[in-house]
Amino acid sequence: MSDRQTVLAERPPRGPARRSRTGGKWRRGRLIAVLAVLSALPLLFHRHVPNSIGNLGSLLDTFLPWVGLAVPVLAVAALVRRSATAGVALLVPAVVWGLMFGNLLIPGKGGGPYDLRVLSHNVDAANPDPARTAQQLLAADADVMALEEITSADLKVYKKQFAATYPHVVTRGTVALWSKFPVEESASVDVGFAWTRALRAEVSTPEGKVAFYVAHLASVRIGTSGFTSNQRNETIKQLGQQIAGEKLAGVVVMGDFNGTANDRSLAPVTAGLRSAQGAAGQGFGFTWPAKFPMARIDHIMVRGVTPTKAWVMDPTGSDHRPVVAELTV
């Protein structure tokens, strides 16, 4: 073969064949591109998903950050297909997710001086070793600690374990508060149960009085009838009314809300409050289930005080993980 023939053989083909190969990466993966754009819709319009059918709106709100998993899954598919169209389309859900949740992933967030360290934990009525859980909680060195789902038998264990560190304790039904500082007033908060699952206490801190609310709202269920949360939503309304009428400037609300901050049904409680994790924590701060957390349903929320740092502790033997926050009053 002559040199000219060799050059002609190596020269890229002209015409339709060449255009087909160079344009193929844009024509391939159109289905993936459509799925990418569709995956952004639940993020953009989750508030418009109604609760009238199985409380689907609240279910989506609860697990909303996980919608972002569609991006890496579809990205792998786009790479396999070598689709430029799908790659560009994936920017849509990626940007939307980043705008909604990217601030939670900012490194170096939180820290600095604080006046109070507070802790909240659903200790689990079926906890096999409450004494060990108590020791793990003591290691956090909180100034004020709220516990939920305490049985009468376990309450004796916690009181014994905490006695030397927390001289002030308030117990109401299945919730309790321990404090290093004096508790001047305390009362049960009626949220519509036959037994008490919420309390209010005025804690006299060195910086002034702060109203603490400890609550364990009703559980939700996912079954054949959908995301069942009607009883929880009723308790939310009643607790929200109590908090809205609070006269003290500094308010800290802690407990197991059985819902995330994104859940629209929590609005009666969260209105006017700031999430400590959202303001001063890094990451999503998932707390449940403890072995593989998928949602943050345990909260520390504040009004009139400023979160400076927030985090989630390691598992304690409960099916929830404890949450901690440092606050300035």
Considering 48, 79, 102, which residue would you say is the last residue of a domain?
102
What's the pTM?
Answer: 0.86
Indicate the average pLDDT of the chain. Answer: 89
Claim to verify: residue 69 and residue 130 sit in the same structural domain: no
Q: Give CA angle at 98 (290, 293), nearest 5°.
A: 5
Q: Tell me what pLDDT residue 196 has.
A: 87
Of 152-161, 223-232, 251-260, the least confident: 223-232
- List pLDDT tens digits, range 130-188: 999 999 999 999 999 999 999 999 999 999 999 999 999 999 999 999 999 999 999 99
- Pick the closest to residue 233 from 252, 224, 246, 220 (CA basis): 220
Claim to verify: residue 26 and residue 124 sit in the same structural domain: no
Claim to verify: residue 223 and residue 290 sit in the same structural domain: yes
Q: Which residue segment(s) compose the domain that 47 sits in? A: 3-102
- List pLDDT tens digits, range 43-100: 999 999 987 777 788 889 889 999 999 999 999 999 999 999 999 999 999 999 999 9
DSSP 87-116: HHHTHHHHHHHHHHHGGGG-TT-S-S--SE
d(CA 249, CA 241): 16
The mean pLDDT of 96-115, rounded to a whole number, is 89
**Which of the 8 DSSP states describes residue 266?**
G
Q: Assign 291 to helix, strand or coil.
A: coil
CA end-to-end span of the chain? 88
Claim to verify: residue 187 and residue 73 sit in the same structural domain: no
Residue 41, domain member (yes or no):
yes
d(CA 207, CA 218): 33
d(CA 312, CA 96): 26
Q: Assign 179 to helix, strand or coil.
A: strand
Claim to verify: residue 172 and residue 288 sit in the same structural domain: yes
What is the number of other CB atoms lying within 10 angstroms of the CB of residue 74? 22
The mean pLDDT of 220-245, rounded to a whole number, is 73
Q: What is the CATH number of the domain that holds 288?
A: 3.60.10.10
d(CA 113, CA 328): 8
Give yes or no for a contact between 308 and 326, defined as CB atoms under 8 angstroms apart: yes
Q: Tell me what pLDDT residue 24 has.
A: 67
Claim to verify: residue 91 and residue 131 sit in the same structural domain: no
Claim to verify: residue 261 and residue 293 sit in the same structural domain: yes
Claim to verify: residue 321 and residue 224 sit in the same structural domain: yes
Q: Quick one: tokens of 327?
A: 């606050």
Q: Tell me what pLDDT residue 58 has.
A: 82
d(CA 139, CA 313): 10
Cα–Cα distances (Å) from 292 to 66, 286, 287, in that order, read 13, 9, 9
Residue 228 has pLDDT above 60, yes or no: no
Of the two residues 152 and 219, the one the predictor is more confident about is 152
d(CA 239, CA 304): 18
Domain total for the chain?
2
- pLDDT band of residue 4 (cuts 50, 70, 90) is low
Claim to verify: residue 177 and residue 302 sit in the same structural domain: yes
Residue 110, domain member (yes or no):
no
pLDDT cut 70: percent of the chain above it: 88
Considering 102, 131, 163, which residue would you say is the last residue of a domain?
102
